[in-house]
Amino acid sequence: SLLVLCGRSPPLRVSLFPRVLLGELEAHQDAWPFLLPVDQRSVPGYRKVIRRPMDLSTIRGRVSSNQYPDTEAFLSDLALVLDNCERFNEDRSEIGRAGLRLRSFLERRWAQLLQQS
């Protein structure tokens, strides 16, 4: 019926934006600190300071198993990765700088994708 044709779910290409963005983040040269969960045994203080650890492989698993109810839940896990990084690392450290550069890329790239929606 017409309702099916003008359904409220986002157009297919828009619903693929998270996968497009995640693939580019995983390939980004500044993603290396964020690809896997921080090893809490080898990073003193991490477990106490960071209450909700998050990383790109965990997000990839959730995307692949459709665990995100909406795009906002996906974006909020991405923000958590970078917020944790800013909380735990000095801005001028290697990892701190990588986090700031990756966040800048993420924000610019997401805005670009939205212009295509």
Ligand X SMILES: Cn1cc(C(=O)NCCN)ccc1=O
Contact set with ligand X (CB under 6 A): 32-34, 38, 43, 85, 88-89, 95
The least distance separating ligand X from the CB of residue 43, rounded to whole angstroms, comes to 5
Is residue 82 within 8 Å of 31, Cβ to Cβ? Answer: no
Nearer to ligand X among residue 17 and residue 34 (C-beta): 34
Q: How far apart are CA 50 and CA 48, in angstroms?
A: 6
Cβ-Cβ contacts under 8 Å for 70 (sequence gap 6 or more): none
**Which position's Cβ is nearest ligand X?**
33
The least distance separating ligand X from the CB of residue 95, rounded to whole angstroms, comes to 5
Q: How far apart are CA 61 and CA 92, in angstroms?
A: 31
Q: How far apart are CA 73 and CA 27, in angstroms?
A: 22
The least distance separating ligand X from the CB of residue 7, rounded to whole angstroms, comes to 39
Nearer to ligand X among residue 11 and residue 44 (C-beta): 44
Nearer to ligand X among residue 32 and residue 64 (C-beta): 32
